[in-house]
Amino acid sequence: MMIKVLSENTAASDEFGCEHGLSLYVETNRHRLLFDTGASGLFAENAEKLGVNLSAVDVAVLSHGHYDHGGGLKTFLAKNERAKVYMQEKAFEPHYSNRPGGIKADIGLDPALLPNERFVFCKGHQKIDGELELFSEVREITPVPSGNAELFQKSGEAFVPDEFAHEQNLVIWQNKRAVLIAGCAHRGILNIVRMFESDYGRFPDVVIGGFHLHSRGTGKSEAPEAVDALARELLQTGAQYCTCHCTGQEAYQRLKTVMGTRIGYLSAGSRLAINL
């Protein structure tokens, strides 16, 4: 399996653009898959530099309904005429974030993209085929990221805390081993990994994605002791981790100190070969 990072907050070199967003291209035994589209059309520019033909993508997955993961969706639909785009049924509902001055900024997807017959709206778990599955409705057993307190949805005209019913995670099976990909892990990466274990009777072999340990709204990272505790828990799962995007560099360095070679970081332009 080969993963190429098309969009991320940092860049592997000056050759690649970066932005607050995430987009991954994944080649598996059966599929050429796009996971998220970043915040803009930048993912397509980086795709060309990485030799990725977006028109050949046969499956696309949207992790949740925030612009930094679906802002490039219009660009993808223009460059690819066939791939279905799998998302949770609430992905296009309005979503908001705190900004200075008490402003609630719209951080949702572009409603002008609706309706579209290529969109597949999922509810809960969805099996795409023998290789790909989606799961959501993650139970919040351990604490979720504190940055979630800056994120909202609407109930009538009132702003209420986002429940992240629009968030889903991707599982890729190969040779009876599993790669789990999360977008921002708003439900908590430990909760997500533990729910995988509860559902499948084992932990995933590889986990990739943002862990939302840095709040863009406040500019703050999770408390050091909380990050250290998370790192110790993740080590107990036996999985290999690669993180990015909303984890933040400060939190990543703390994770790295505890987890060592069991965690790495992915930047725009990175290539990751996974042998399963």
Structure confidence by residue, pLDDT tens digits, 172-214: 999 999 999 999 999 999 999 999 999 999 999 999 999 999 9
Domain tally, the chain: 1
pTM over 0.85: yes
Model confidence at 218, pLDDT cuts 50, 70, 90, reads confident
Q: Above 90 in pLDDT, residue 102?
A: no
Question: In terms of residue numbers, what domain contains 168?
Answer: 2-273
Question: Which parts of the chain fold into alpha helices (H)?
Answer: 42-49, 67-70, 73-79, 189-200, 224-236, 249-259
HSE-CB at 7 with a 13 A cutoff on CA atoms is 25
Is 151 exposed, middle or buried, given 0-12, 13-18 or 19+ CB atoms closer than 10 A? buried
Quick: pLDDT tens for 64-100: 999 999 999 999 999 999 999 999 999 999 999 998 8
Is the pLDDT assigned to residue 131 strictly greater than 90? yes
Give the domain CATH number at 159.
Answer: 3.60.15.10
CA 51/CA 110 separation, integer angstroms: 28
Instruction: Give CA–CA dist 20/39, Å, rounded.
Output: 7
Q: Nearest Cα to 68, choosing from 251, 249, 212?
A: 212
pLDDT single digits (tens) 254-266: 999 999 999 999 9
Residue with structure tokens 């017959």?
117
d(CA 82, CA 2): 22
- Mean of all residue pLDDT scores within the chain: 97
Confidence check: pLDDT of 48 > 90: yes
Rg for the chain (alpha carbons), in Å? Answer: 17
Beta strands in 12-131 (DSSP E): 23-27, 32-35, 59-61, 84-88, 96-99, 103-106, 119-122, 126-127
| pLDDT score recorded for residue 100 | 84
